Structure 1
Amino acid sequence: MDSSTVKTYLPWLVATALFMEQLDATVVNTAIPSIALSLGVTPLSLKSVVTSYILGLAVGIPVSGWMADRYGTRRVFLVAIGIFTLASVLCGLAPSAELMTVARLLQGLGGAMMMPVGRLAIVRTFPKAELMGAMNFVIIPALIGPLLGPTVGGLIVHWTSWRAIFFINVPFGLIAMYLVWRHMPDYRGDEPRPLDIFGLILFSCGTAMLSWLLEIFGEHTLSSTATALLLAFSIGLLAGYALHASRIEFPLLRLTLLKVRTFRISVLGGFVTRLGVGGLPFLLPLLYQLGLGLPAWQSGLLMMPSAVAAMGMKLVAPKVLARFGYRQVLVFNTLCIGVTIALYGFVGRDTPLAAIVVISLMQGFFNSLQFSSMNTLAYADIEQGDTSMASTISSSFQQLSMSFGLAAGSLVAAWFLGGVPQTNQAQVTDALHHAFWALAVLTMLSAGIFYWLRRQDGDSISRGRAVAKQAEPVEQ
């Protein structure tokens, strides 16, 4: 397969698949009332339709790296898109809430294999000096998908039927499957390793339960005692996996990779950063609709400028990183993200629309630069044979961080809104302002993690040159 052709098509393939996966994570939310009416159930009973997709991601991501090493990236990616597309059809045809929940779980499993396997193919195809450009292209759908989801879902439900939300995936999925078969490189692991079934059970059950608890956080369907017990049990499962992984030769996720300093800082720094950023898709619609009194469609449009800025960022990021390096960019940019989140704490009914658009543009630019930088830094010092494992670990932490981020947004909103009546726009706006400031402080604190980077970290990617070995002492 011609290398230049692969490099041309591969970023488009991965970007399209990630956009489908990220869009479907949120597109259903605004359609829940219509789906409930059509299926003859209450909207609250459809919470499982949303959470089952998250559970599918949490269970499927850990095993995706092993499958890619064993069966090849092309076959696994092709099957993943096929499962996702088939599950989309089943969702659109579902006659009951129970069958839709099963179909959404299957859809989540397909999406789970897309994200890490697609990223693995990108890392294996592009040399480190070209990785930034490829990752910049791929990261944009992951950023704009959650922002566009509620808007797209609302417009589709308004114009047609809620079932079209799922059928729209079919033509994209079929085209993607054809292109994958023609242009997707087929990478496999150097040596086949056995599947860590016990580790898969421990880690998948722990992450699935924790993601589910975070997804329903703030609801009263579970007592505080039951929630605390389930939380302790999920953490216990994850701790059990960490102990299990340290004692066997071929663990599901080789956590010893976190000893690589740049990989560890990228994964943990990204996790903490997403705690603040992840709450924005939850808080911004509340600010626009409850605080400013805007209709849902205008609220959705105000989130669009950040997507435009995210696309523009890919032209700037390589030059910025080459000039200043990862350490300075990530520390300074994390603070900038905190500032933009804090600026939302000053948005009120009298704020000019242009000012809100400018804040949204800033948010999209800084967020895109942040995630592009973190995702590429993760592979700066990872050996070629460890890229599959690194991609799986990174994707697993990202999935958990998204759930934690939404939970953080829910927590601060519930804390400050308290007993404030939603009909009192002034009090609602004031409470939401405090929530934004709390998330801003949390985000700024994560800059301290990136402070531990060294000046030359990531030069193999940002400046196309390797760092001398003596600059990186062996870690115990």
Structure 2
Amino acid sequence: MSDPVIPLVTTDPALETTRRYLPWVVAVALFMQQLDGTIVNTAVPTIAASLKVTPLSLKSVLTSYTIAIAVFIPLSGWLADHFGTKRVFGFAIAMFTLGSLACGISLNLPMLVASRVMQGIGAAFMMPVGRIALLRTFPKSGILRAMNFVIIPALLGPLLGPLMGGVIVHVLPWRWIFLINLPFGILGLWLMRRYMPDHRGKVSEPLDTWGFILFGAGIALLSWVLEIFGEHRMNTVWVGGFALLSFALLGGYAWHARRVSDPLLAVSLFKIRTFRVSVAGGFVTRLGISGMPFLLPLLYQLGMGFQPWQAGLLVMPQALAAIGMKLLVERILARFGHKKVLVANTLVIGLMISAFSQVGPGTPVWVILLFSFMQGSVSALQFTAMNTLAYADTTDEQASDASTIASTGQQLSISFGIAFASLVTAWFLGGIERSDPAALIPALHRAYLLLGAVSIVSAVTFLTLKRNDGADVSGHVEATEE
């Protein structure tokens, strides 16, 4: 893999060294985070059996992690500006590593969920702060290449995770799927100390404490409502009341944010069209994509009878295809531009998710591998296009706020996507036993169709882009403008 050399002349040796190694620092952290997520997905049935709970109940292990990320991400920009990117990034890696250790020694589901929250707090700061460091180190013309470089080694996590998770739960106690993070955490801390720059912003206002309370409580409560609605039998009135309370808290934050000079999340950034479309469109698109890593192991292992390591092999082509696509994405965006790519690719994503409704007992393995490879390709292209579009028209001064909001939206969509996927699957199952393949497979097929439809609908948001939106990042410029 070549160095992420950015076409910018500099005579500062320290800056040149930072630009050379900073993408590796961020990539190691992201690799650790992605490896953890994909290993857990593959091991869900095994962990459920060990803890004596139903597989769909294990979504609390996944959603607690993503909810913690979504709740604490809004603090990342302010903390980075106030304490510096180096200190906050180091804290994030240390917290994630200690959380992994706690997961590995958990004795029951509540302990595991609490440990996942600890991991989530660390993960909440890793990628946003790493992205802030990249945005403040590289020029805008080099952001696409730098971020693309960061993603490529990080995709080794999804590539190795499913297989490693399957092998580990097959030959070792499932706890090793978390303990394997420890050496990567130590490596990340060493790289951070040597190569992470200590960027700080102008902090003239104290932390928006009320904003954090309103937003965090609203998001956590809403995610919890989605979880209990699909898994537990609670009075509908109570569920509706909690849902209304969560919306009230989030509405209270929106009201609060317009009345303070320095809100937790700078909602004024949504006035920028490219940023608004990237975050809003990306949120809806990720709802469908994010539910698949949770549902596919259920189909392969419980529905089709594959062993965990075999299920891991079936999803490996997604990561291989994603790595290959990352090598082409710069050329694709330069040739067609963000608007054409996002509109067309979103439609293809929806169709690919829906295609898994045709997978079941008797489906040739090569067909499953082909579907997996195609989904990995289009998902990688989509994520890179959406992520880089968010920073196309923001200034260096807006880097912290933009990274914070974009990361918050991404994690919320992941959390909601998992909860939504579990919810619709439980709904399609009705009161039928969830371990019965004859009932589970049709329910999963209907869930894939619904998730695919959601992704297809999200293509509408990208139609509001103009032809040359994102040109500063992609280099694509058309002669006429809409």
Residues 408-436 of structure 1, C-alpha deviation per residue, up to 9 Å, x if partnerless?
22233233333566677566444433332
Q: Which residue of 1 aligns with 2:242?
A: 230
Q: Which amino acid letter does the alignment assign opposite residue 258 of structure 1?
A: F
Give the drift of 1:50. Answer: 4.8
Q: Which moved more, 1:387-396 or 1:434-443?
A: 434-443
Give the drift of 1:325. Answer: 0.4
Between the aligned partners of 2:177 and 2:476, the Cα distance in structure 1 is: 43
1:243 is aligned to 2:236: no
Query: Gapped runs of 5+ residues in structure 1?
Result: none
Give the drift of 1:111. Answer: 1.2
Give the drift of 1:444. Answer: 0.9
1:133 is aligned to 2:114: no
Q: Which amino acid letter does the alignment assign opposite residue 139 of structure 1?
A: I
Q: Which residue of 2 aligns with 1:18?
A: 30
Residues 347-378 of structure 1, C-alpha deviation per residue, up to 9 Å, x if partnerless?
23333221221111110000000001000000
Cα 1:125–1:31 change in 2 (3 A) is: same
Give the drift of 1:213. Answer: 2.9
Contact 2:69 2:124 in 1 (8 A): yes
**Within 5 Å, which residues of 2 pair with 1:31-42?**
42=52
Q: Which residue of 2 aligns with 1:278?
A: 290
Choose the corresponding residue for 2:471, options 459, 463, 470.
Answer: 459
Residues 135-155 of structure 1, C-alpha deviation per residue, up to 9 Å, x if partnerless?
223335776756865653343
Q: Which moved more, 1:76-85 or 1:131-140?
A: 131-140
Choose the corresponding residue for 1:175, options 187, 197, 214.
Answer: 187
Give the drift of 1:129. Answer: 1.8
Q: Which amino acid letter does the alignment assign opposite residue 179 of structure 1?
A: L
- 3-state DSSP of counterpart to 1:298: helix
Between the aligned partners of 1:423 and 1:112, the Cα distance in structure 2 is: 34
Give the drift of 1:16. Answer: 1.8
- 3-state DSSP of counterpart to 1:303: helix
TM-score normalized with structure 1 length: 0.89
- 3-state DSSP of counterpart to 1:293: coil
- 3-state DSSP of counterpart to 2:230: coil
Give the drift of 1:51. Answer: 4.8
Q: Which amino acid letter does the alignment assign opposite residue 2 of structure 1?
A: A
Choose the corresponding residue for 2:364, options 342, 346, 352.
Answer: 352
Q: Which amino acid letter does the alignment assign opposite residue 391 of structure 1?
A: S
Q: Which residue of 2 aligns with 1:188?
A: 200
Q: Which moved more, 1:237-246 or 1:45-54?
A: 45-54
1:293 is aligned to 2:309: no
Q: Which residue of 1 aligns with 2:8?
A: none
**Within 5 Å, which residues of 2 pair with 1:133-172?**
133-140=145-152, 145=157, 149=161, 151-172=163-184
- 3-state DSSP of counterpart to 1:279: helix
TM-score normalized with structure 2 length: 0.88
Q: Which moved more, 1:47-56 or 1:285-294?
A: 47-56
Q: Which residue of 2 aligns with 1:68?
A: 80
Q: Which residue of 2 aligns with 1:5?
A: 17
- 3-state DSSP of counterpart to 2:204: coil
Q: How many residues align?
A: 468
Between the aligned partners of 1:303 and 1:34, the Cα distance in structure 2 is: 17
**Within 5 Å, which residues of 2 pair with 1:384-423?**
384-418=396-430
Q: Which residue of 2 aligns with 1:82?
A: 94
1:123 is aligned to 2:135: yes
Between the aligned partners of 2:447 and 2:82, the Cα distance in structure 1 is: 46
Give the drift of 1:401. Answer: 0.6
Give the drift of 1:224. Answer: 2.6
Q: Which amino acid letter does the alignment assign opposite residue 277 of structure 1?
A: I
Cα 1:221–1:42 change in 2 (3 A) is: farther
Residues 93-128 of structure 1, C-alpha deviation per residue, up to 9 Å, x if partnerless?
456666555443322211111121111112222222
Between the aligned partners of 1:146 and 1:419, the Cα distance in structure 2 is: 33
Between the aligned partners of 2:382 and 2:166, the Cα distance in structure 1 is: 29
Q: Which moved more, 1:294-303 or 1:220-229?
A: 220-229
Cα 1:429–1:79 change in 2 (3 A) is: closer
Q: Which residue of 2 aligns with 1:310?
A: 322
Contact 1:58 1:211 in 2 (8 A): no
Give the drift of 1:292. Answer: 3.1
Between the aligned partners of 1:349 and 1:209, the Cα distance in structure 2 is: 38
Query: Gapped runs of 5+ residues in structure 2?
Result: 1-12
Q: Which residue of 1 aligns with 2:458?
A: 446
Q: Which residue of 1 aligns with 2:337?
A: 325
Contact 1:417 1:431 in 2 (8 A): yes
Contact 1:33 1:43 in 2 (8 A): no
- 3-state DSSP of counterpart to 2:231: coil
Contact 2:335 2:476 in 1 (8 A): no
Q: Which moved more, 1:183-192 or 1:344-353?
A: 344-353
Between the aligned partners of 2:154 and 2:267, the Cα distance in structure 1 is: 25
- 3-state DSSP of counterpart to 1:455: coil
Q: Which amino acid letter does the alignment assign opposite residue 264 of structure 1?
A: R
**Within 5 Å, which residues of 2 pair with 1:20-59?**
20-25=32-37, 27-28=39-40, 42-43=52-53, 50-59=62-71
Contact 1:147 1:281 in 2 (8 A): no
Cα 1:178–1:338 change in 2 (3 A) is: same
Cα 1:307–1:31 change in 2 (3 A) is: closer
Q: Which residue of 2 aligns with 1:267?
A: 279
Residues 280-325 of structure 1, C-alpha deviation per residue, up to 9 Å, x if partnerless?
1133223323443333322221111001000111111000000010
Q: Which residue of 1 aligns with 2:6?
A: none
